[in-house]
């Protein structure tokens, strides 16, 4: 599973990455995490507001930081 955090590295982006890592660990999911900070790549996903969470190339949420339980739900959808 590849989990991408799209954003500039702002505090919300860092918080989303932290929560996503915790969620994957708690679920026992092996995931590769990637930070995408390049604006052109972010726009390639159709994202206009960050942070965004992309799991296996599917945009799950953008423009906000969901709670850990919601992130777990997104991970579970892609398993």
Q: Where are the domains of the chain?
A: 2-77
Task: Judge contact between 32 and 24, C-beta under 8 A.
Answer: no
pLDDT band at 5 (very low <50, low <70, confident <90, very high): very high
- Rounded CA-CA distance 37/57 in Å is 16
- Residue range 2-77 in CATH 3.10.310.10: no
pLDDT band at 48 (very low <50, low <70, confident <90, very high): confident
Residues forming beta bridges with residue 2, ordered by sequence position? 32
How many Cβ atoms from other residues are within 10 Å of residue 19's Cβ?
Answer: 20
pLDDT band at 17 (very low <50, low <70, confident <90, very high): very high
Write out the catalytic residue numbers: 10, 13
pLDDT value at 23 more than 90 = yes
């Amino acid at each position: 599973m590849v989990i991408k955090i799209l954003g500039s590295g702002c505090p919300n982006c860092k918080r989303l990455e932290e929560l996503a890592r915790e969620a994957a660990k708690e679920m026992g999911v092996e995931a590769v995490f990637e930070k995408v900070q390049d604006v052109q790549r972010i726009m390639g996903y159709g994202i206009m507001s960050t942070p965004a969470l992309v799991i296996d190339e599917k945009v799950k949420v953008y423009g906000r930081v969901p709670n850990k339980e919601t992130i777990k739900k997104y991970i579970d959808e892609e398993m």
